[in-house]
């Protein structure tokens, strides 16, 4: 198979494996075709006011609440019911609002498909209302307006440019919302049509308050700005209630819900599962809501928060975030959103037992409707003899539950009816999960079969074309095997017919059919295995076995490092001893010492905290000077051996000047933002120019390996400094130092193995034509080189903790570029920050392939096998039980490894161009290397 064909096929296979995880674990839980359910009894409230304080932590509101938020504290102690709303991972604004208003937890694939629009249709409390008026962020409101049927959801948003982290006072966003709401009610007094609509029942008023979240990101949740914003919101809510009650004549028919979509860590981020992110406040008061209930006895909560908040004397009622949707629907008498998985929290309701029982029954039927649709869908797409129903809720048991609940309500045994309805909800939710994951085992087996087949094929390709193990070439002639071809054709036909009968989606055909050609290719190369077995007596079996054990141990160490970053430190300590164990330390003492010190210095980074680091701009400046110092030292030391042309001298001078500027820009930007003077325009312009030029400026430099590598380092370091806020800025200089030593050590290792044709490193040119006669076959030591590369790639990935957790994406990293909230641009910049160490390692690997006289394909095939084994390992570690954080983490690890494998395949092409190509802006006289 030709190189390009192999690359395309390999890329396709890995893309399929990558996408399979979304069909297996990230399919949408939504089903359609259910009948809306609501109680026929009159509701206690005619209207509902929903106030969501984005990014508000539970402890920030409840601690010292009497002084910080006196109005809301008075509600807790007198007129309402309070508790903690428990959110789920990811703790982001979009999924949080979907859970609050639609009652279900949005799957990751839907979140990834759109931020402001609806990637899938879903029902919500807004959709079921008569009218809904919304004020707030343009990132949230359109999502529910677009999802509503009809034209009864009205939105009023400020411009997106107002969401500025560098704002002098982000609380003005909340002031704007309160001001607009007040003006709205004032204008309704003179607008008869609007007033008539507002006086109708089943109306909702939604206030989305983004100021607290913005101040938390910009100044941290413990800052005075964050706490002052809470006080402003408290005063705004008090004024809002007065305005609403006055407009409706104090009719006592308004219900109020105050909560948050997610919390925030102490360092101003959110997205993961820390309690500060998942615990949000919930305060409900007004029509149909229980008043404060003094609880003299000990409450069931053991988290210690009641004592800290000084609320142990008041009953606390915790809910899951999705439970708020059926609560709001019950208060104003609209159907519960048909996709909701929330359970009505009855302790918030101040109504008759009959109303509570009928509301809970409606909730149970609403969840059961989803279960019935899901079961019908799965039965219709599964062969009858293969269909296994959910035994806890068969059709007969469903009918029995419904009949018993109706009898109990007729007999006015409302407590028993409520208990039965809650049991039915629990089993229906369990059944929904059962049918949602019905095909998981089948798809998983198909993917694993394809995975093992592909890895086996790559190993056979390595043995056949890149190793010297084959002793009997005559066995390797591929004779067309008609029996094998017929067998694979029959298997393909059976799979296609089976999937067609089951009405399976197109992606199922891909996952199930992919292993067939893969295993056909493996079995066609069976002669290689026969030859390897015959050659076994002449092979160094103990050495091979030793390498196998070491690589297996190394792969396990990398897998564990995904859970415990400190394992990278352990690995780097082991790697530092390589020259000593291989005997190189006696032949290259200075380089061996440099290798040891480089590994030890790099080993310090995985021990640093992933998140919660305080900004230390002085370290960023220090990193800039360190990069300049090491670059200057190299240029001075190599001047006699490899003199630079005038053009290269000018280029390096400009790049070093750029590094110097970029070392100070974060400091100037940080100072300006601290003084609340906004983002300096000059800093922003320089930052964007530096980013735009970082990929093509190195192409202007000489293609001699160290000159090109130095140019790449200076260019990428400039951008990395602009994206740094502390100690992580030191990572690229230290990593580059170790990579430089690695290149030198690999040449020493090659010489020690007796490989002839050593060339002075400083004279090697990336763009020089490769002498085919000098390309050598793979040796056992090349497995070690490939493993080193994978290890350094993982270290580059997790070394500074940029990917270890969702909430480690600190938006302050991009403040040199922009401060106005834009999730895609900010996310792209932070991903580029992660990719920069990748590129440094990839360019080093490209250099090592040149230095060690190997074809670009051979070493990369070994890398592919190692990374695929890791991916397969993580595929088996994926779990759908335990906490939501554990489930999300296990899936994200597989996604990261698969993304890394695909990315490496693409990046290998990019880095080859990055190192070998040269742009000539002006024609220069031809130069000859001395």
Instruction: Answer yes or no: is pLDDT of 472 > 70.
Output: no
Structure confidence by residue, pLDDT tens digits, 109-156: 554 444 445 545 788 999 999 999 999 999 888 888 765 566 899 999
Positive or negative: CA dihedral 210, 212, 213, 218: positive
pLDDT at 696: 87
Could you tell me what percent of the chain has a pLDDT over 90?
47
Helix (H) or strand (E) holding 286: strand 279-286
Cβ neighbour number for residue 776 with a 10 Å cutoff: 18
Tokens 């409706």 sit at which residue?
248
Tokens 């629009």 sit at which residue?
117
Long-range pairs of 319-322 with CB within 8 A, sequence gap ≥ 24: 319/83, 319/84, 319/85, 319/86, 319/282, 319/345, 320/85, 320/86, 320/88, 321/85, 321/86, 321/87, 321/88, 321/96, 321/99, 321/100, 321/280, 322/99, 322/100, 322/103, 322/104, 322/105
Instruction: Answer yes or no: is pLDDT of 614 > 80.
Output: no
729: β partners:
none
pLDDT at 779: 79
Kindly state the DSSP code that residue 164 receives in the 8-state scheme: B
- Listed in sequence order, the residues at least 6 apart from 767 whose beta carbon sits closer than 8 Å to its beta carbon are 703, 916, 917, 918
Tokens 């009894």 sit at which residue?
41
Find how far residue 114's CA is from the centre of its chain: 15
Using alpha carbons, list the distances in angstroms from residue 817 to 177, 613, 662, 753, 825: 28, 21, 12, 50, 10
535: β partners:
none
DSSP-based three-state secondary structure for 285: strand
pLDDT at 523: 87
Tokens 């413990």 sit at which residue?
222
pLDDT band at 781 (very low <50, low <70, confident <90, very high): confident
256: β partners:
49, 285
The maximal CA–CA distance of the chain, rounded, in angstroms, is 103
pLDDT band at 803 (very low <50, low <70, confident <90, very high): very low
| Joined tokens for residue 476 | 């390797």
State the Cα–Cα distance between residues 583 and 745, nearest whole angstrom.
Answer: 12
pLDDT band at 750 (very low <50, low <70, confident <90, very high): confident
Higher pLDDT, 683 or 820: 683
Contact 45, 288 (CB under 8 A): yes
Segment 256-266 mean pLDDT? 94
State the Cα–Cα distance between residues 359 and 326, nearest whole angstrom.
Answer: 9
Instruction: Kindly report whether the peptide bond that precedes residue 372 is cis, defined as omega within 30 degrees of 0.
Output: no
Structure confidence by residue, pLDDT tens digits, 333-372: 999 999 999 999 999 999 999 999 999 999 999 999 999 9
The whole-model pTM stands at 0.81
Contact 569, 606 (CB under 8 A): yes
Indicate the pairing of strand 279-286 with strand 80-86: antiparallel
Using alpha carbons, list the distances in angstroms from residue 395 to 37, 362, 375, 400, 731: 20, 18, 10, 9, 61
State the Cα–Cα distance between residues 669 and 678, nearest whole angstrom.
Answer: 8
Tokens 């008609």 sit at which residue?
482
Using alpha carbons, list the distances in angstroms from residue 239 to 82, 146, 231, 236, 488: 20, 30, 12, 5, 74
Positive or negative: CA dihedral 704, 707, 708, 709: positive
State the Cα–Cα distance between residues 867 and 855, nearest whole angstrom.
Answer: 19
Q: Where are the alpha helices (DSSP H) in 248-351?
A: 275-278, 305-309, 324-332
Structure confidence by residue, pLDDT tens digits, 227-251: 999 999 999 999 999 999 999 999 9
pLDDT band at 577 (very low <50, low <70, confident <90, very high): very high
pLDDT at 302: 82
- Listed in sequence order, the residues at least 6 apart from 702 whose beta carbon sits closer than 8 Å to its beta carbon are 644, 645, 648, 708, 918
The answer to which of 112-126, 504-518, 840-854 has the lowest mean pLDDT is 112-126
State the Cα–Cα distance between residues 29 and 432, nearest whole angstrom.
Answer: 8
| Joined tokens for residue 726 | 């502390």
The closest alpha carbon to 524, from 491, 467, 482, belongs to 482
Segment 406-413 mean pLDDT? 95
pLDDT at 476: 46
pLDDT at 806: 45
The closest alpha carbon to 702, from 693, 711, 694, belongs to 711
Using alpha carbons, list the distances in angstroms from residue 881 to 322, 560, 884: 19, 20, 8
Q: What is the mean pLDDT of the chain?
A: 86
Could you tell me what percent of the chain has a pLDDT over 70?
89
pLDDT at 663: 94
State the Cα–Cα distance between residues 683 and 795, nearest whole angstrom.
Answer: 31
3-state DSSP helix/strand/coil percent for the chain, to nearest 5? 65, 5, 30
pLDDT at 754: 66
Instruction: Answer yes or no: is pLDDT of 856 > 70.
Output: no
State the Cα–Cα distance between residues 629 and 854, nearest whole angstrom.
Answer: 33
Structure confidence by residue, pLDDT tens digits, 640-654: 677 788 888 889 999
Structure confidence by residue, pLDDT tens digits, 64-84: 877 889 999 999 999 999 999
Segment 513-527 mean pLDDT? 87
State the Cα–Cα distance between residues 530 and 672, nearest whole angstrom.
Answer: 70
pLDDT at 772: 52
Segment 784-798 mean pLDDT? 89
Contact 398, 454 (CB under 8 A): no
Instruction: Answer yes or no: is pLDDT of 408 > 80.
Output: yes
Contact 87, 277 (CB under 8 A): yes
DSSP E strands in 424-568: the ranges are: none
The closest alpha carbon to 217, from 928, 820, 879, belongs to 820
Instruction: Answer yes or no: is pLDDT of 763 > 80.
Output: no
Q: In the 3-class helix/strand/coil scheme, how is 625-684 assigned residue by residue?
A: HHHHHHHHHHHHHCCCCCCCCHHHHHHHHHHHHHHHHHHHHHHHHHHHHHCCCCCCHHHH
pLDDT at 846: 87
- The helix-helix angle for 781-798 and 884-916 (nearest 10°) equals 120
pLDDT band at 923 (very low <50, low <70, confident <90, very high): low
pLDDT at 598: 93
């Amino acid at each position: 198979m030709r190189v390009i064909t192999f690359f395309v096929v390999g890329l396709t296979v890995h893309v399929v494996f990558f996408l399979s995880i979304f069909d297996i674990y990230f399919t949408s839980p939504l089903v359609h075709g259910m009948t809306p359910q609501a109680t026929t009894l009159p509701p206690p409230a005619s209207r509902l006011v929903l106030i969501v304080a984005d990014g508000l932590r539970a402890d920030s509101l409840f601690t010292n609440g009497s002084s910080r938020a006196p109005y809301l504290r008075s509600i807790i102690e007198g007129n309402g019911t309070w508790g903690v709303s428990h959110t789920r991972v990811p703790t982001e604004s979009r999924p949080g609002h979907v859970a609050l208003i639609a009652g279900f937890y949005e799957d990751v694939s839907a979140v990834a498909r759109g931020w402001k629009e609806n990637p899938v249709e879903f029902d919500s409390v807004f959709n079921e209302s008569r009218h809904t008026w919304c004020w707030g962020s343009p990132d949230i409101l359109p999502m529910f307006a677009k999802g509503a049927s009809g034209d009864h959801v009205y939105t009023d948003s400020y411009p997106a440019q107002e969401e500025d982290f560098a704002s002098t006072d982000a609380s003005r966003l909340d002031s704007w919302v309160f001001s607009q709401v007040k003006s709205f009610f004032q204008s309704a007094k003179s607008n008869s049509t609007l007033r008539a609509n507002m006086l109708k029942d089943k109306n909702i008023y939604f206030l989305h308050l983004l100021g607290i979240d913005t101040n938390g990101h910009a100044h941290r949740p413990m800052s005075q700005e964050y706490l002052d914003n809470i006080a402003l919101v408290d005063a705004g809510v008090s004024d809002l209630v007065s305005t609403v009650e006055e407009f409706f004549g104090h009719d006592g028919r308004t219900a109020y819900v105050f909560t948050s979509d997610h919390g925030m860590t102490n360092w101003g981020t959110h997205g993961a599962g820390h309690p500060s992110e998942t615990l949000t406040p919930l305060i409900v008061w007004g029509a149909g809501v229980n008043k404060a209930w003094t609880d003299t006895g000990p409450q069931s909560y053991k988290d210690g928060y009641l004592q800290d908040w000084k609320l142990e004397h008041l009953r606390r009622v915790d809910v899951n975030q999705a439970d708020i949707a059926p609560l709001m629907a019950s208060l104003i008498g609209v159907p519960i959103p048909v996709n909701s998985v929330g359970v009505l929290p009855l302790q918030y309701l101040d109504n008759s037992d009959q109303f509570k029982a009928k509301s809970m029954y409606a909730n149970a039927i609403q969840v059961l409707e989803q279960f019935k649709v899901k079961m019908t869908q799965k039965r219709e797409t599964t062969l009858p003899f293969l269909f296994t129903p959910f035994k806890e809720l068969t059709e007969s048991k469903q009918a029995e539950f419904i009949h018993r609940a109706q009898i109990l309500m007729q007999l006015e045994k409302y407590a028993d009816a409520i208990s039965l309805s809650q049991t039915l909800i629990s089993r229906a939710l369990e059944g929904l999960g059962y049918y949602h994951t019905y095909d998981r085992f089948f798809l998983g087996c198909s993917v694993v079969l394809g995975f093992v087949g592909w890895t086996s094929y790559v190993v056979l390709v390595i043995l056949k074309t890149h190793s010297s193990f084959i002793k009997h070439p005559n066995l390797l002639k591929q004779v067309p095997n008609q029996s094998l071809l017929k067998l694979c054709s029959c298997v393909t036909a059976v799979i296609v017919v089976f999937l067609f009968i089951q009405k399976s989606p197109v992606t199922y055909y891909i996952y199930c059919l992919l292993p067939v050609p893969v295993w056909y290719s493996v079995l066609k190369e069976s002669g290689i295995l026969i030859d390897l077995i015959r050659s076994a007596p002449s092979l160094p079996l103990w050495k091979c076995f030793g390498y196998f054990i070491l690589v297996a141990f190394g792969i396990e160490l990398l897998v564990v490092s995904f859970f415990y970053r400190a394992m990278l430190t352990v690995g780097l300590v082991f790697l530092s001893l390589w020259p000593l164990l291989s005997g190189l330390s006696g032949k290259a003492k200075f380089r061996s010492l440099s290798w040891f010190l480089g590994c030890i210095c790099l080993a310090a980074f995985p021990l640093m905290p992933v998140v919660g680091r305080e900004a230390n701009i002085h370290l960023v400046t220090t990193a800039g000077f360190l990069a300049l110092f090491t670059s200057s030292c190299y240029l001075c030391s190599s001047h006699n051996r490899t003199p630079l042309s005038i053009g290269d001298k000018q280029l390096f001078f400009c790049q070093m000047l750029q590094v110097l500027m970029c070392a100070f820009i974060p400091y100037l930007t940080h100072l300006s933002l601290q003084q609340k003077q906004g983002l300096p325009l000059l800093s922003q312009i320089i930052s964007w120019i530096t980013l735009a030029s970082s990929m093509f400026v190195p192409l202007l430099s000489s293609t001699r390996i160290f000159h090109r590598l130095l140019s790449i380092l200076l260019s990428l370091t400039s951008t990395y400094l602009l994206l740094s806020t502390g100690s992580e800025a030191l990572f690229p200089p230290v990593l580059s130092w170790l990579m430089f030593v690695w290149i030198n050590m690999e040449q020493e290792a090659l010489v020690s193995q007796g490989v002839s044709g050593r060339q002075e490193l400083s004279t090697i040119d990336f763009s020089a034509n490769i002498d085919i006669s000098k390309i050598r076959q793979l040796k056992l030591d090349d497995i070690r080189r490939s493993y080193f590369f994978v290890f350094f790639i993982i270290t580059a990935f997790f070394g500074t903790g940029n990917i270890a957790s969702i909430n480690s994406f600190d938006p302050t990293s991009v403040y040199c570029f922009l401060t106005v909230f834009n999730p895609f641009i900010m996310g792209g910049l932070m991903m580029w920050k992660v990719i920069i160490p990748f590129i440094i390692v990839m360019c080093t690997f490209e250099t090592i392939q040149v230095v060690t006289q190997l074809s670009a394909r051979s070493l990369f095939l070994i890398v592919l096998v190692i990374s695929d084994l890791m991916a397969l390992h993580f595929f088996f570690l994926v779990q759908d039980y335990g906490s939501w954080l554990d489930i999300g983490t296990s899936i994200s690890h597989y996604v990261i490894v698969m993304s890394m494998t695909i990315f490496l395949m693409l990046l290998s092409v990019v880095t080859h161009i990055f190192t070998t190509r040269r742009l000539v802006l002006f024609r220069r006289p031809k130069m000859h290397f001395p």
